[in-house]
Amino acid sequence: MTHDVNGKVVAITGASRGIGAAAAREFAALGAKVVLMARSRDAIADLAGEIGDTALAVPCDVARFWEVKAAFNAAVDTFGSLDVVINNAGVIEPVARIEDADPDAWGQAIDINLKGTFNGIHAALPHMRTGGGTIIGISSGAATSALEGWSHYCSSKAAALMLTRCLHKEMGAQGIRALGLSPGTVATQMQREIKASGVNPVAQLDWEDHIPPEWPAKALAWMCTPAADAYLGGDISLRDEAIRGAVGLA
DSSP label at residue 211: B
Nearest to 180 by CA among 244, 86, 112: 86
pLDDT at 204: 74
Residues recognised as catalytic: 153
Q: How far is CA 196 from CA 57, 92, 204, 205, 241, in A?
A: 31, 12, 10, 11, 29
Mean pLDDT of 96-119: 95
* pTM attached to this predicted model: 0.93
Tens digit of each residue's pLDDT (9 = 90 or more) over 190-246: 767 877 877 777 777 676 667 788 999 999 999 999 999 999 999 999 989 999 999
Tens digit of each residue's pLDDT (9 = 90 or more) over 122-181: 999 999 988 899 999 999 888 888 988 889 999 999 999 999 999 999 999 999 999 999
Between CA 9 and CA 6 the distance in angstroms is: 9
CATH topology of domain 2-182+221-237: Rossmann fold (3.40.50)
Q: Is the pLDDT of residue 184 over 80?
A: no
Tens digit of each residue's pLDDT (9 = 90 or more) over 31-47: 999 999 999 999 999 99
Domain range annotation of the chain: 2-182+221-237
pLDDT at 70: 98
Q: How far is CA 85 from CA 82, 106, 137, 240, in A?
A: 8, 26, 8, 24
